[in-house]
Amino acid sequence: MAVTRHIVAERDGGRRLDRWFAERFPALAHGRLEKLLRTGQIRVDGKRVRAGHRLSPGDTIRVPPLEPAMQAPEARGRNHAGRSAGSAREDQAFLDSIVLYRDDAVLILNKPAGLPVQGGTGQTRHLDAMLPHLAGAGEPPRLVHRLDKDTSGVLAIALTRQAAAALTAAFRSREVRKLYWAVVAGAPARRRGLVDLALAKRGGSGAERAVVAEDPEAGGKAEDARSARTRFAVVDHAADEVSWLALLPLTGRTHQLRAHCRALGTPILGDGKYGGRGAFVAGLPKRVHLHARRLIAPHPAGGWIDAEAELPPHMAETFDTIGFDPNADTDPFEFGILRK
């Protein structure tokens, strides 16, 4: 479980810090909270504080990794896709544990791998069903984009109708930029470039997949082909066996990054649906290694949202095993200057 940072909402202004923790982390004993505060593991706006500290809206609370008994459901390793819906309190605690940013209009989460965003065949637990349990949500929270079930990382939620309309328009007009990290099997022939291959959907519900819908040599395209473009760059690699890619999708097709990585001859590690046996490397986790690392979007009230999500545990394990440094300079697309 990674360190998380929580933004204090307007409704919590003036609340004591220990009461804020009691509501969101009910299994965290007060004595343990005091020790975490004394050792500086819990901080408010980067400063050490006492349990009775009064919070202000907009404060950032740093929460360290907690023991399994104190963590929300996902942190304890439960299978969100396989178990029935939890209680409102349980869902609220889980959502609080993955918050990257929150204000009155926008909520940014670090979605865990394996948790569906919406329901589907055989899915009894998904993020969309948890959102109504958000404490203090005046209007129903609204999804404004999606991540695949097996993809982790930054996910934006609108907390008002106006914010939903503004963010949806920003995604549609491509004002939003999303940076992904992937670990792939093999190494691309080029260190960086553009994949410009149209995609089409094949298969029915539950078995849908994206396929390259054009033949570059013959020049033909499937009738249902839709333009799909992805910029890629190799950040690091281990010989020609495994590579770490930065991916910048310029369009937003279903499974675009998974299909385009396969088209490069380097399927995403753990993605058997697109890479078959070639997507697995002995000694490395078998889960899909695709992470929505960063999102930059115009804020509905003005200014910009700029959120970054830490790696999920299985990708962090792979990085550690291979020696990739997630703190290295990894902005090959000059992503940081896109806020104009």
169 and 39, same structural domain? yes
CA angle 276, 279, 281 (to 5 degrees): 130
141 and 46, same structural domain? yes
Q: Based on the structure, what is the number of domains in the chain?
A: 2
Distance of alpha carbon 36 from alpha carbon 46, whole angstroms: 14
253 and 336, same structural domain? yes
128 and 29, same structural domain? yes
302 and 215, same structural domain? yes
With cut-offs at 50, 70 and 90, classify the pLDDT of residue 260. very high
In this prediction, residue 73 carries a pLDDT of: 39
219 and 128, same structural domain? no
CATH number of the domain encompassing residue 78: 3.10.290.10
Q: Of 118, 142, 173, which closes a domain? A: 173
183 and 157, same structural domain? no
Instruction: Assign 150 to helix, strand or coil.
Output: coil
- Strand partners for 268: 184
Q: Reply yes or no on whether the pLDDT at 69 is more than 70.
A: no
CATH number of the domain encompassing residue 178: 3.30.2350.10
pLDDT in tens, 157-176: 999 999 999 999 999 998 99
Q: Of 140, 173, 206, which closes a domain? A: 173
Q: Could you tell me if 28 and 20 are in contact, meaning their C-beta atoms sit under 8 angstroms apart?
A: no
In this prediction, residue 217 carries a pLDDT of: 43
148 annotated active-site:
yes
221 and 197, same structural domain? yes
Domain that holds residue 332: 174-340
Q: Could you tell me if 242 and 269 are in contact, meaning their C-beta atoms sit under 8 angstroms apart?
A: yes
Q: What is the mean pLDDT of the chain?
A: 84
Measured in Å, how far apart are the chain's first and last C-alpha atoms?
34
240 and 153, same structural domain? no
pTM over 0.75: no
140 and 95, same structural domain? yes
168 and 94, same structural domain? yes
pLDDT in tens, 100-120: 888 889 999 999 999 898 866
Q: Of 112, 140, 173, which closes a domain? A: 173
Cα dihedral sign for 335, 263, 316, 233?
negative
How far apart, in Å, are the Cα atoms of 328 and each of 120, 236, 278, 324, 331?
A: 38, 10, 28, 9, 9
Catalytic residue among 148, 215, 224, 306: 148
130 and 49, same structural domain? yes
Alpha helix positions (H), 98-239: 127-130, 161-172
